[in-house]
Structure 1
Protein backbone atom coordinates (compact mmCIF):
# COMPACT_ATOMS: atom_id res chain seq x y z
CA UNK A 1 0.00 0.00 0.00
CA UNK A 2 2.79 2.45 0.90
CA UNK A 3 4.48 1.57 -2.37
CA UNK A 4 1.43 2.65 -4.40
CA UNK A 5 1.20 5.96 -2.52
CA UNK A 6 4.91 6.67 -3.10
CA UNK A 7 4.59 5.84 -6.84
CA UNK A 8 1.54 8.13 -7.06
CA UNK A 9 3.41 10.97 -5.35
CA UNK A 10 6.41 10.42 -7.66
CA UNK A 11 4.19 10.63 -10.77
CA UNK A 12 2.55 13.82 -9.49
CA UNK A 13 5.95 15.41 -8.74
CA UNK A 14 7.28 14.54 -12.21
CA UNK A 15 4.13 15.87 -13.89
CA UNK A 16 4.18 19.14 -11.92
CA UNK A 17 7.93 19.58 -12.52
CA UNK A 18 7.46 19.03 -16.26
CA UNK A 19 4.63 21.52 -16.35
CA UNK A 20 6.66 24.11 -14.44
CA UNK A 21 9.66 23.83 -16.79
CA UNK A 22 7.45 23.88 -19.90
CA UNK A 23 5.74 27.10 -18.75
CA UNK A 24 9.11 28.69 -17.90
CA UNK A 25 10.57 27.77 -21.30
CA UNK A 26 7.48 29.02 -23.16
CA UNK A 27 7.44 32.37 -21.32
CA UNK A 28 11.17 32.91 -21.98
CA UNK A 29 10.65 32.18 -25.71
CA UNK A 30 7.62 34.47 -25.88
CA UNK A 31 9.57 37.32 -24.27
CA UNK A 32 12.37 36.98 -26.85
CA UNK A 33 10.05 36.78 -29.88
CA UNK A 34 7.82 39.66 -28.80
CA UNK A 35 10.85 41.85 -28.23
CA UNK A 36 12.28 41.30 -31.74
CA UNK A 37 9.02 41.08 -33.69
CA UNK A 38 8.15 43.70 -36.29
CA UNK A 39 4.53 44.46 -37.04
CA UNK A 40 3.81 42.75 -40.36
CA UNK A 41 0.76 42.80 -42.56
CA UNK A 42 -0.13 40.46 -45.39
CA UNK A 43 -2.22 40.34 -48.52
CA UNK A 44 -2.42 38.70 -51.89
CA UNK A 45 -2.41 39.82 -55.48
CA UNK A 46 -5.20 39.10 -57.90
CA UNK A 47 -4.72 36.20 -60.30
CA UNK A 48 -3.16 37.71 -63.39
CA UNK A 49 -1.34 36.57 -66.50
CA UNK A 50 1.78 37.70 -68.32
CA UNK A 51 2.00 36.90 -72.05
CA UNK A 52 5.04 34.95 -73.22
CA UNK A 53 6.01 36.27 -76.63
CA UNK A 54 8.48 34.37 -78.82
CA UNK A 55 9.31 35.51 -82.36
CA UNK A 56 6.57 38.13 -82.24
CA UNK A 57 3.76 35.68 -81.41
CA UNK A 58 2.09 34.88 -78.10
CA UNK A 59 3.13 31.35 -77.18
CA UNK A 60 1.33 31.21 -73.85
CA UNK A 61 0.84 32.90 -70.49
CA UNK A 62 2.36 32.72 -67.04
CA UNK A 63 -0.59 32.77 -64.64
CA UNK A 64 0.31 33.75 -61.11
CA UNK A 65 -1.03 34.81 -57.74
CA UNK A 66 1.29 35.78 -54.92
CA UNK A 67 0.92 36.30 -51.19
CA UNK A 68 3.05 39.04 -49.66
CA UNK A 69 4.09 40.20 -46.22
CA UNK A 70 4.79 43.89 -45.72
CA UNK A 71 5.97 46.21 -42.97
CA UNK A 72 2.85 47.70 -41.33
CA UNK A 73 4.60 50.92 -40.37
CA UNK A 74 5.67 51.63 -43.96
CA UNK A 75 2.28 50.52 -45.33
CA UNK A 76 0.58 53.27 -43.32
CA UNK A 77 2.38 55.88 -45.45
CA UNK A 78 1.39 54.25 -48.77
CA UNK A 79 -1.95 55.30 -50.22
CA UNK A 80 -2.01 52.93 -53.25
CA UNK A 81 -2.60 49.19 -52.69
CA UNK A 82 0.71 47.34 -52.56
CA UNK A 83 -0.60 44.59 -54.85
CA UNK A 84 -0.54 47.08 -57.75
CA UNK A 85 3.20 47.55 -57.34
CA UNK A 86 3.81 43.81 -56.97
CA UNK A 87 1.73 42.99 -60.08
CA UNK A 88 3.63 45.62 -62.05
CA UNK A 89 6.99 44.25 -60.94
CA UNK A 90 6.00 40.63 -61.68
CA UNK A 91 4.89 41.72 -65.15
CA UNK A 92 8.19 43.56 -65.72
CA UNK A 93 10.22 40.58 -64.55
CA UNK A 94 8.51 38.01 -66.73
CA UNK A 95 7.80 40.15 -69.75
CA UNK A 96 11.31 41.55 -69.82
CA UNK A 97 13.54 38.76 -68.58
CA UNK A 98 11.68 35.47 -68.83
CA UNK A 99 9.72 35.94 -72.02
CA UNK A 100 11.35 32.89 -73.61
CA UNK A 101 10.57 30.48 -70.77
CA UNK A 102 7.82 27.95 -71.47
CA UNK A 103 8.75 25.50 -68.75
CA UNK A 104 7.76 26.78 -65.34
CA UNK A 105 10.14 24.43 -63.58
CA UNK A 106 13.08 26.13 -65.40
CA UNK A 107 12.35 29.39 -63.57
CA UNK A 108 14.42 29.81 -60.39
CA UNK A 109 11.74 31.38 -58.25
CA UNK A 110 14.12 32.41 -55.45
CA UNK A 111 15.96 34.70 -57.92
CA UNK A 112 12.69 36.02 -59.36
CA UNK A 113 11.24 36.53 -55.87
CA UNK A 114 14.23 38.55 -54.73
CA UNK A 115 14.19 40.63 -57.93
CA UNK A 116 10.48 41.40 -57.40
CA UNK A 117 11.01 42.35 -53.74
CA UNK A 118 13.98 44.56 -54.65
CA UNK A 119 12.07 46.19 -57.53
CA UNK A 120 9.05 47.01 -55.38
CA UNK A 121 11.13 48.22 -52.44
CA UNK A 122 13.16 50.50 -54.75
CA UNK A 123 9.99 52.54 -55.32
CA UNK A 124 9.65 53.46 -51.65
CA UNK A 125 11.94 55.38 -49.29
CA UNK A 126 11.90 52.48 -46.81
CA UNK A 127 11.71 48.74 -47.63
CA UNK A 128 8.04 47.74 -47.72
CA UNK A 129 7.82 44.13 -48.95
CA UNK A 130 9.38 41.58 -46.61
CA UNK A 131 8.52 38.30 -48.35
CA UNK A 132 6.61 36.77 -51.26
CA UNK A 133 4.94 33.37 -51.27
CA UNK A 134 3.45 31.55 -54.24
CA UNK A 135 -0.28 30.88 -54.24
CA UNK A 136 -0.43 29.96 -57.94
CA UNK A 137 2.26 29.86 -60.64
CA UNK A 138 1.50 28.12 -63.95
CA UNK A 139 2.36 28.28 -67.63
CA UNK A 140 -0.51 27.80 -70.07
CA UNK A 141 0.34 27.47 -73.75
CA UNK A 142 -1.70 29.15 -76.47
CA UNK A 143 -2.51 25.71 -77.87
CA UNK A 144 -4.06 24.65 -74.54
CA UNK A 145 -6.16 27.82 -74.49
CA UNK A 146 -7.33 27.27 -78.09
CA UNK A 147 -8.15 23.63 -77.37
CA UNK A 148 -10.13 24.64 -74.28
CA UNK A 149 -12.03 27.32 -76.20
CA UNK A 150 -12.90 25.00 -79.10
CA UNK A 151 -13.84 22.03 -76.91
CA UNK A 152 -17.27 20.81 -77.87
CA UNK A 153 -17.33 22.67 -81.17
CA UNK A 154 -17.44 20.23 -84.05
CA UNK A 155 -15.14 20.97 -86.92
CA UNK A 156 -16.58 20.25 -90.21
Structure 2
Protein backbone atom coordinates (compact mmCIF):
# COMPACT_ATOMS: atom_id res chain seq x y z
CA UNK A 1 0.00 0.00 0.00
CA UNK A 2 2.80 2.41 0.91
CA UNK A 3 4.53 1.51 -2.33
CA UNK A 4 1.48 2.58 -4.40
CA UNK A 5 1.24 5.89 -2.50
CA UNK A 6 4.95 6.58 -3.11
CA UNK A 7 4.57 5.83 -6.84
CA UNK A 8 1.57 8.18 -7.00
CA UNK A 9 3.52 10.95 -5.25
CA UNK A 10 6.47 10.38 -7.61
CA UNK A 11 4.18 10.70 -10.69
CA UNK A 12 2.64 13.91 -9.31
CA UNK A 13 6.10 15.40 -8.62
CA UNK A 14 7.32 14.58 -12.14
CA UNK A 15 4.15 16.01 -13.70
CA UNK A 16 4.32 19.23 -11.66
CA UNK A 17 8.05 19.59 -12.35
CA UNK A 18 7.58 19.23 -16.11
CA UNK A 19 4.66 21.68 -16.05
CA UNK A 20 6.75 24.22 -14.13
CA UNK A 21 9.65 23.81 -16.58
CA UNK A 22 7.36 24.20 -19.62
CA UNK A 23 5.72 27.36 -18.24
CA UNK A 24 9.08 28.86 -17.24
CA UNK A 25 10.63 28.15 -20.66
CA UNK A 26 7.55 29.46 -22.52
CA UNK A 27 7.50 32.71 -20.53
CA UNK A 28 11.19 33.29 -21.30
CA UNK A 29 10.60 32.99 -25.06
CA UNK A 30 7.38 35.03 -24.89
CA UNK A 31 9.28 38.00 -23.47
CA UNK A 32 11.63 37.96 -26.49
CA UNK A 33 9.00 37.36 -29.22
CA UNK A 34 7.36 40.83 -29.41
CA UNK A 35 10.71 42.52 -29.96
CA UNK A 36 11.72 40.26 -32.84
CA UNK A 37 8.52 40.41 -34.88
CA UNK A 38 6.53 43.30 -36.29
CA UNK A 39 2.92 43.67 -35.28
CA UNK A 40 0.94 42.95 -38.47
CA UNK A 41 -2.74 42.96 -39.32
CA UNK A 42 -4.15 40.91 -42.15
CA UNK A 43 -7.26 40.74 -44.27
CA UNK A 44 -8.46 40.11 -47.76
CA UNK A 45 -10.36 41.94 -50.43
CA UNK A 46 -13.68 40.87 -51.83
CA UNK A 47 -13.71 39.11 -55.20
CA UNK A 48 -13.28 41.98 -57.60
CA UNK A 49 -13.61 42.10 -61.40
CA UNK A 50 -12.24 44.67 -63.83
CA UNK A 51 -13.67 44.78 -67.35
CA UNK A 52 -11.14 44.78 -70.20
CA UNK A 53 -12.55 46.99 -72.95
CA UNK A 54 -11.11 46.94 -76.46
CA UNK A 55 -12.71 48.87 -79.35
CA UNK A 56 -15.67 49.89 -77.16
CA UNK A 57 -16.54 46.26 -76.39
CA UNK A 58 -15.92 44.18 -73.29
CA UNK A 59 -13.43 41.46 -74.21
CA UNK A 60 -13.22 39.89 -70.76
CA UNK A 61 -12.69 40.44 -67.06
CA UNK A 62 -9.76 40.26 -64.70
CA UNK A 63 -11.11 38.61 -61.55
CA UNK A 64 -9.00 38.95 -58.43
CA UNK A 65 -9.05 38.47 -54.70
CA UNK A 66 -5.99 39.37 -52.68
CA UNK A 67 -4.92 38.84 -49.10
CA UNK A 68 -2.82 41.56 -47.52
CA UNK A 69 -0.71 42.25 -44.47
CA UNK A 70 -0.63 45.70 -42.90
CA UNK A 71 1.55 47.50 -40.39
CA UNK A 72 -0.56 47.37 -37.22
CA UNK A 73 0.59 50.69 -35.80
CA UNK A 74 -0.23 52.60 -39.00
CA UNK A 75 -3.47 50.69 -39.59
CA UNK A 76 -4.76 51.52 -36.10
CA UNK A 77 -4.83 55.22 -36.95
CA UNK A 78 -7.17 54.80 -39.97
CA UNK A 79 -10.87 54.00 -39.95
CA UNK A 80 -11.33 53.32 -43.68
CA UNK A 81 -10.77 49.68 -44.74
CA UNK A 82 -7.61 49.31 -46.82
CA UNK A 83 -9.34 46.87 -49.18
CA UNK A 84 -11.08 49.84 -50.83
CA UNK A 85 -7.72 51.35 -51.74
CA UNK A 86 -6.36 48.01 -52.94
CA UNK A 87 -9.41 47.46 -55.18
CA UNK A 88 -8.99 50.97 -56.59
CA UNK A 89 -5.34 50.27 -57.42
CA UNK A 90 -6.25 46.96 -59.10
CA UNK A 91 -8.85 48.79 -61.17
CA UNK A 92 -6.29 51.46 -62.11
CA UNK A 93 -3.78 48.79 -63.11
CA UNK A 94 -6.03 46.99 -65.56
CA UNK A 95 -8.81 49.29 -66.74
CA UNK A 96 -7.88 50.76 -70.12
CA UNK A 97 -4.28 49.53 -70.09
CA UNK A 98 -4.62 46.49 -72.32
CA UNK A 99 -5.48 46.99 -75.97
CA UNK A 100 -4.43 43.44 -76.84
CA UNK A 101 -6.30 40.94 -74.68
CA UNK A 102 -3.53 38.34 -75.07
CA UNK A 103 -1.21 40.62 -73.06
CA UNK A 104 -3.28 40.02 -69.95
CA UNK A 105 -2.39 36.36 -69.89
CA UNK A 106 1.31 37.31 -69.76
CA UNK A 107 0.94 39.57 -66.71
CA UNK A 108 3.75 39.14 -64.21
CA UNK A 109 2.01 39.38 -60.88
CA UNK A 110 5.19 40.39 -59.03
CA UNK A 111 5.26 43.65 -61.03
CA UNK A 112 1.54 44.22 -60.50
CA UNK A 113 1.86 43.45 -56.79
CA UNK A 114 4.71 45.93 -56.35
CA UNK A 115 2.86 48.70 -58.17
CA UNK A 116 -0.33 48.06 -56.14
CA UNK A 117 1.60 48.20 -52.86
CA UNK A 118 3.42 51.37 -53.96
CA UNK A 119 0.16 52.97 -55.16
CA UNK A 120 -1.69 52.24 -51.92
CA UNK A 121 1.21 53.30 -49.71
CA UNK A 122 1.52 56.58 -51.63
CA UNK A 123 -1.95 57.55 -50.35
CA UNK A 124 -0.91 57.33 -46.69
CA UNK A 125 1.64 59.38 -44.77
CA UNK A 126 3.46 56.20 -43.67
CA UNK A 127 3.78 52.89 -45.56
CA UNK A 128 0.80 50.74 -44.60
CA UNK A 129 0.67 47.68 -46.88
CA UNK A 130 3.53 45.26 -46.23
CA UNK A 131 2.63 42.44 -48.62
CA UNK A 132 -0.04 41.16 -51.01
CA UNK A 133 -0.81 37.51 -51.54
CA UNK A 134 -2.91 36.03 -54.31
CA UNK A 135 -6.14 34.30 -53.35
CA UNK A 136 -7.51 34.43 -56.90
CA UNK A 137 -6.24 36.09 -60.09
CA UNK A 138 -7.93 35.04 -63.33
CA UNK A 139 -8.80 36.35 -66.75
CA UNK A 140 -12.19 35.29 -68.09
CA UNK A 141 -13.15 36.11 -71.66
CA UNK A 142 -16.55 37.55 -72.46
CA UNK A 143 -17.20 34.55 -74.71
CA UNK A 144 -16.66 32.14 -71.79
CA UNK A 145 -19.15 34.09 -69.70
CA UNK A 146 -21.74 34.13 -72.49
CA UNK A 147 -21.26 30.39 -73.08
CA UNK A 148 -21.67 29.72 -69.36
CA UNK A 149 -24.85 31.82 -69.22
CA UNK A 150 -26.43 30.19 -72.28
CA UNK A 151 -25.82 26.59 -71.13
CA UNK A 152 -28.81 26.76 -68.81
CA UNK A 153 -31.00 28.16 -71.58
CA UNK A 154 -29.97 25.42 -73.98
CA UNK A 155 -30.87 22.73 -71.44
CA UNK A 156 -34.30 24.25 -70.85
CA UNK A 157 -35.03 24.57 -74.58
CA UNK A 158 -33.87 21.05 -75.44
CA UNK A 159 -36.82 18.80 -76.43
CA UNK A 160 -37.62 16.23 -73.82
CA UNK A 161 -38.03 12.66 -75.06
CA UNK A 162 -40.82 10.61 -73.62
Q: With the length of structure 1 as denominator, give the TM-score of the two structures.
A: 0.74
Contact residue 98 and residue 104 of structure 2 kept, 8 A: no
1:38 deviates by 1.1
Q: What are structure 2's unaligned runs of at least 5 residues? A: 1-24
For residues 28-67 of structure 1, what are the structure 2 equivalents within 5 Å?
31=32, 34-67=34-67
Instruction: Report the equivalent of 1:21.
Output: none
For residues 5-154 of structure 1, what are the structure 2 equivalents within 5 Å?
31=32, 34-98=34-98, 100-102=100-102, 104-154=104-154
1:60 deviates by 0.3
Partner-residue secondary structure (3-state), 1:143: helix
Q: Which has the larger radius of gyration?
A: 2
Q: 1:130/1:98 Cα in 2 relative to 1: closer, same or farther (>3 Å)?
A: farther
Instruction: Report the equivalent of 2:15.
Output: none
Q: With the length of structure 2 as denominator, give the TM-score of the two structures.
A: 0.71
Partner-residue secondary structure (3-state), 1:152: helix
Q: Which whole-Å CA distance do the structure 2 matches of 1:85 and 1:60 have between them?
A: 23
1:102 deviates by 3.9
Query: What is the RMSD computed on CA atoms of the aligned residues?
Result: 2.3
TM-superposition CA deviations, 1:24-49 (whole Å, max 9, x none): 9xx88x94x64231100000000010
Q: What are structure 1's unaligned runs of at least 5 residues? A: 1-23
Partner-residue secondary structure (3-state), 1:150: helix
Q: Which whole-Å CA distance do the structure 1 matches of 2:104 and 2:34 have between them?
A: 39
Q: How many residue pairs end up in the alignment? A: 129
Q: Which whole-Å CA distance do the structure 1 matches of 2:110 and 2:61 have between them?
A: 20
Q: Which whole-Å CA distance do the structure 1 matches of 2:110 and 2:99 have between them?
A: 18
